[in-house]
Amino acid sequence: MVMTPDREPDVFAAISHRSRRQMLDLLAESKRSVSDIAAHFEMSRPAVSQHLRVLLEAGLLTEQRHGRERRYHFDPARLGPVRDWIGQYERFWDDRLQRLQNQLSKTSGNE
C-alpha cells in the first residue's frame, strides 16, 4: 500500500488498479462477500482478498464478519480527495461544453 507523507493511505493508489475500481462498482450496488466478488473476476480468491485489503486499508471499504464469512461495504466518503482533485479540472470541461453548445446553436440557427 502506498502511503502519503502523513502516513494516510493513498486513495489514488488504491483506485489505480482496474480490478479494484470494478470491485468498488460491485460494492456500490450492495454489500458482498469475498466469494461473491471473486465470482465476477478471473483471478484467485486470495488475489481478490489482496485487492480488498488495499481498498480496506485506504478506508474505501468496511468489513463485517458474519460467522466465517466477511462482507464488504463501500464507503464513498474517502473518495473526497479524488472528487476535489477532479473538481479542479471541471472548469476546462465546462468551457469546452459551453463552446460546443455555442457552436451547435450557431449550426442549428443556419438550418
15 — pLDDT class (breaks 50, 70, 90): very high
pLDDT band of residue 111 (cuts 50, 70, 90) is low
- Are 55 and 61 contacting, i.e. CB atoms less than 8 angstroms apart? yes
Q: Which residues of 50-88 are buried (b: 16+ CB within 10 A; e: fewer)?
A: ebbebbbebebbeeeeeeeebbbebeeebbeeeeeeeee
pTM of the model: 0.76
- DSSP, collapsed to helix, strand or coil, labels residue 61 as strand
CA distance 3 to 69: 29
* C-alpha cell read off for 15: 483506485
Asked whether residue 31 carries a pLDDT value surpassing 60, the answer given is yes
